[in-house]
């Protein structure tokens, strides 16, 4: 037991050391470059496939920095690496984050969010009808994706067996194999995989446990990070106003077959994201 604990501690130290590695371009304050980390498995918003950086966020960033003379260096990473790289000098910004009080201590947020998202409970067709209220979760095996925030109402519900997966793709696979009773994931991502795998008729929404959550671009608190954030904010407002953002959404909607990419779209003068957070509740 002690040996196992020591080995685990060594692994954490090694992993943390990798995550804290500083990028030499940032140390030298290379002004014509921005380094952006993103989650490698969060389609259709950002993902790495066929040796390419892809997704809505990737296309938006390219448009935002297109005429600035700044080259974007994308780095696909794990959720942990994505969030911590800007904090410790490994990147200038991270592409996928929501503005929690804890993360706000370490990241400087862009002015306008990418959009609002809902996560929902999915089950195999025919099974979902059994779930009517939160007591209906008693004894269920609920699949979650590692490293994501989940409502306290869910995590503290001791009558549910929580089972963790490394990615959305794996969680859906386990649900199809009946190793999970339910999964709890972002609606648009689930729809993406349902279309890709041809399983639209097999999964249904069984309920939801929270309202809309907004995802922001997070920058480092350094003078360099603040300078790049100002450029990002100004140009993001412009592509919202001139319709470029909507064109990118339509492109990805057509490409993926997802009926609705966002549950809420902010405007260029969006200020009231906090009002969209409601008390988590399970509904049929």
> 225 and 108 in one domain?
yes
Report, as an integer, the average pLDDT of 233-249.
Answer: 95
User: Looking at the domain assignment, is residue 282 inside a domain?
Assistant: no
Domain edge (last residue) among 181, 208, 235 = 208
Q: Which domain holds residue 45?
A: 2-116+214-275
The answer on pLDDT for 30 being more than 60 is yes
Task: Check whether residue 144 and residue 175 sit in a common domain.
Answer: yes
Q: Which of 149, 181, 208 is the last residue of a domain?
A: 208
In a shared domain, residues 110 and 246: yes
- Using a CB cutoff of 8 Å and minimum separation of 24, what contacts does 99-103 make? 99/214, 99/216, 99/273, 100/149, 103/218
Give the DSSP H/E element, type plus range, for residue 62.
Answer: helix 56-64
Mean pLDDT of the chain: 80
130 and 236 inside one domain: no
Cα 139 to Cα 69, 160, 161, 173, 180, distances in angstroms: 56, 5, 7, 21, 11
Q: Taking the chain, what is the end-to-end CA distance rounded to the nearest angstrom?
A: 44
In this prediction, residues 136-164 reach a mean pLDDT of: 69
pTM here? 0.82
Same domain, 19 and 105: yes
- Whole-number pLDDT of residue 259: 83
CA distance linking residue 244 with residue 239, whole number of Å: 5
Verify that 102 and 221 share a domain, yes or no.
yes
Which of the residue ranges 2-16, 105-119, 132-146 has the most confident prediction, judged by mean pLDDT? 105-119
pLDDT, average across residues 234-253:
94
CA–CA distance, 115 with 119 (Å, rounded to integer): 13
Same structural domain for residues 79 and 197? no
Residue-level pLDDT at 243: 95
Say if residue 110's pLDDT is above 90.
Answer: yes
Asked if residue 143 is part of any domain, the answer here is yes
Residue 284 is assigned to a structural domain of this protein:
no
Residues 170-207: tens digit of each pLDDT: 999 999 999 988 888 888 999 999 999 999 999 988 87
pLDDT of residue 35 exceeding 80: yes
Total domain count for the chain?
2
């Amino acid at each position: 037991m002690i040996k196992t604990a020591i080995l685990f501690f060594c692994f954490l130290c090694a992993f943390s050391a990798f995550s804290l590695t500083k990028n030499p371009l940032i140390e030298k304050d290379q002004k014509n470059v921005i380094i952006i980390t993103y989650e490698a498995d969060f389609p259709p918003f950002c993902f790495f496939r066929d040796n390419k950086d892809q997704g809505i966020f990737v296309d938006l960033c390219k448009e935002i920095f297109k005429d600035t003379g700044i080259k974007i260096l994308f780095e696909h990473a794990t959720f942990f690496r994505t969030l911590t790289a800007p904090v410790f000098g490994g990147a200038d910004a991270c592409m996928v984050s929501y503005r929690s009080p804890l993360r706000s201590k370490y990241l400087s947020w862009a002015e306008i969010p990418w959009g609002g998202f809902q996560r929902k409970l999915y089950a195999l067709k025919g099974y979902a009808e059994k779930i009517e209220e939160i007591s209906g979760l008693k004894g269920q095996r609920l699949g979650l994706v590692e490293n994501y925030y989940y409502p306290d109402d869910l995590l503290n519900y001791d009558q549910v067996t929580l089972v963790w997966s490394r990615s959305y793709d794996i969680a859906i696979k386990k649900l199809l194999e009946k190793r999970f009773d339910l999964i709890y994931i972002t609606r648009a991502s689930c729809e993406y995989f349902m279309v890709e795998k041809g399983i639209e008729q097999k999964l249904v929404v069984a309920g939801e446990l929270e309202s809309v959550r907004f995802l922001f671009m997070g920058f480092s608190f350094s003078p360099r990070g603040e300078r790049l954030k100002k450029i990002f904010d100004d140009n993001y407002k412009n592509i919202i106003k001139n319709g470029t953002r909507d064109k990118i959404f339509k492109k990805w909607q057509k490409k993926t077959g997802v009926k609705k990419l966002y549950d809420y779209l902010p405007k260029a003068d969006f200020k009231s994201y906090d009002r969209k957070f409601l008390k988590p509740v399970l509904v049929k």
